[in-house]
Amino acid sequence: MSVIKSTIPALDGCQDSALLNDWHVIGFVEDVAPGALLPVTLLGRDLVAWRESNGAIHVWEDLCIHRGSRLSKGCVRNDRVICPYHGWNYDGSGQCVLIPAAPSEPPMKKAKALIHHAQERYGFIWTCIGTPAQDIPVFPEWEDPSFKKVSCGPYPFRSGYRAVENFIDPSHFPFVHAGVNGITDNPDPIAAYDVSESETGLASTEVRVTQPYGDPREVPVIAYYAYQIFRPLVAYFKKRVVISDPTRATEGNDADRFCTYLTAQIVDEVTSIVRISCAMNFATPPSDADVRRRQDLVYAQDSEIVDTQRPERIPVDLRQELHHRSDLMGLKYRSWLNAQGVTYGVY
Ligand code: FES
Ligand SMILES: [Fe+2]
């Protein structure tokens, strides 16, 4: 059974408690300046994000309780959202504190914006439009100062689940990322690997691949990917990188890692926005621009293929499509989505 807050008026979008009660990224922290209103769509629902002058972030239904107009078309003044229609003023708690048509009367208690849970973490703005069933998944390197972090994106994709599955799929590298993450004429055989399930989701053992331009240092590497799926739309890998060009081997060491924390904002069943944060601990870290240049290239190559996949809604019934042992992580992802009760955007 879905658990939906009684204050949510739109009952026609996603009804999956696994998604409604989860945290979702809807932007980067810098996307919402104090005083600005940012309209966003999540799970088919129109929301508005805004920030008070003290930095507090808010995510509300993009709807005025009075006559249903879009708050995002209004403005923020003195830390109040002002509805564009009749000018009702809402403070940071969502309470209506002024009805301009009756300025001397205190507004009714019920005159309240439809507010959602909101917080900022790892450079992202997160919201939960239901009741959070768990915390935001941990980004293991975030607190570790030896890792440089770089946010990249947004990257538009069609299906968010297809985008996540692509992220944990090593066998497409030689074909989709020729000359970058793999070699078309000499694709790596993918050795058998294992996937385990725990309370934090799914985790693979390392998968070894050859990468001619394996990380932003522009060095060829042998890479060992350990993938994790934390939530239906949050995934991660930790990549152990070993420089394979002997003339440049001294640039790296055994501790070198390149990690990516990936989030997909499900706009609707077949529209999503991927945002990532990369973490790396190289002795000479690449510039933010170098990291972004490489990620922009790779994710553009990915979306060009992923957006052609049919059906757009990912099949979670394993009798659909054909699975090979090298797809183990994707296969486990699909059955795990199904076990979580995810029906929105799947097939
Ligand atoms: S609809 Fe918002 S003030 Fe009337
Ligand atoms: Fe890819």
Distance 279 CA to ligand 1 centre (A): 45
Percent of the chain predicted with pLDDT > 90? 95
Q: Is 64 in the pocket of ligand 1 (CB under 6 A)?
A: yes
pLDDT higher than 90, residue 5: no
**C-alpha R_g of the chain:** 22
The closest alpha carbon to 229, from 325, 333, 157, 313, belongs to: 333
> How many whole angstroms separate alpha carbon 157 and alpha carbon 154?
10
> How many whole angstroms separate alpha carbon 111 and alpha carbon 91?
11
pLDDT higher than 70, residue 74: yes
Distance 89 CA to ligand 1 centre (A): 9
What ligand has the least distance to the C-alpha of 163? 2
pLDDT higher than 80, residue 10: no
Distance 8 CA to ligand 1 centre (A): 17
Q: Is 77 in the pocket of ligand 1 (CB under 6 A)?
A: no
pLDDT average, residue stretch 28-43:
97
Distance 303 CA to ligand 2 centre (A): 8
**Residue whose CA is closest, atom 1 of ligand 1?**
67
Judge contact between 60 and 74, C-beta under 8 A: no
What ligand has the least distance to the C-alpha of 82? 1
Output the average pLDDT for the chain. Answer: 95
CA of 83, closest atom in ligand 1: 2
Q: Is 301 in the pocket of ligand 1 (CB under 6 A)?
A: no
Kindly report, residue by residue over 236-279, the tens digit of the pLDDT.
999 999 999 999 999 999 999 999 999 999 999 999 999 999 99
Q: Is 66 in the pocket of ligand 1 (CB under 6 A)?
A: yes
Distance 154 CA to ligand 1 centre (A): 32
Q: Is 90 in the pocket of ligand 1 (CB under 6 A)?
A: no
Whole-number pLDDT of residue 3: 42
Whole-number pLDDT of residue 214: 81
Q: Is 86 in the pocket of ligand 1 (CB under 6 A)?
A: yes
Domain boundaries, the chain: 17-128, 148-340
pLDDT average, residue stretch 317-321:
94
Q: Is the dihedral of CA 25, 31, 35, 39 positive or negative?
A: negative
What does the H/E/C string look like for the chain?
CCCCCCCCCCCCCCCCHHHHCCCEEEEEHHHCCCCCEEEEEECCEEEEEEECCCCCEEEEECCCCCCCCCHHHCEEECCEEECCCCCCEECCCCEEEECCCCCCCCCCCCCECCEEEEEEECCEEEEECCCCCCCCCCCCCCCCCCCEEEEEEEEEECCHHHHHHHHCCHHHHHHHCECCCECCCCCCCCCCCCEEEECCEEEECCEEEEECCCCCCCCCEEEEEEEEEEECCEEEEEEEEEECCHHHHHHCCCCCEEEEEEEEEEEECCEEEEEEEEEECCCCCCCHHHHHHHHHHHHHHHHHHHCCCCCCCECCCCCCCCCCHHHHHHHHHHHHHHHHCCCCCEC
Distance 37 CA to ligand 1 centre (A): 16
Kindly report, residue by residue over 160-218, the tens digit of the pLDDT.
999 999 999 999 999 999 999 999 999 999 999 999 999 999 999 999 999 999 888 88
CATH superfamily of 148-340: Naphthalene 1,2-dioxygenase Alpha Subunit; Chain A, domain 1 (3.90.380.10)
Q: Is 88 in the pocket of ligand 1 (CB under 6 A)?
A: yes
Question: Are domains 17-128 and 148-340 of this chain identical in fold?
Answer: no
Report pTM: 0.96
Q: Is the dihedral of CA 59, 20, 229, 269 positive or negative?
A: negative
Confidence of residue 11 (pLDDT cuts 50, 70, 90): low
* CATH number for domain 17-128, candidates 2.102.10.10, 3.30.365.10, 3.40.50.720, 3.40.47.10: 2.102.10.10
What ligand has the least distance to the C-alpha of 111? 1
pLDDT average, residue stretch 206-234:
95
Distance 74 CA to ligand 1 centre (A): 10
pLDDT higher than 70, residue 342: yes
Distance 168 CA to ligand 2 centre (A): 8
Q: Is 67 in the pocket of ligand 1 (CB under 6 A)?
A: yes
Q: What angle do CA 23, 344, 327 make, to 5 degrees?
A: 90
Q: Which two tokens stand for residue 165?
A: 């599955």
Side by side, the strands of the sheet bearing 89-90 are 75-77, 80-82, 89-90, 96-98
The closest alpha carbon to 171, from 10, 282, 326, 339, belongs to: 326
Provide CB contacts within 8 A for 257, sequence distance 6+.
141, 147, 238, 239, 240, 241, 279, 280, 281
**Residue whose CA is closest, atom 3 of ligand 1?**
86
Whole-number pLDDT of residue 12: 65
**Residue whose CA is closest, atom 4 of ligand 1?**
86
For 3, counting Cβ atoms within 10 Å of its Cβ (0-12 exposed, 13-18 middle, 19+ buried), the class is exposed
In testing the pocket of ligand 1, which one of 60, 85, 89 has its CB within 8 Å of the most ligand atoms? 85
Distance 85 CA to ligand 1 centre (A): 5
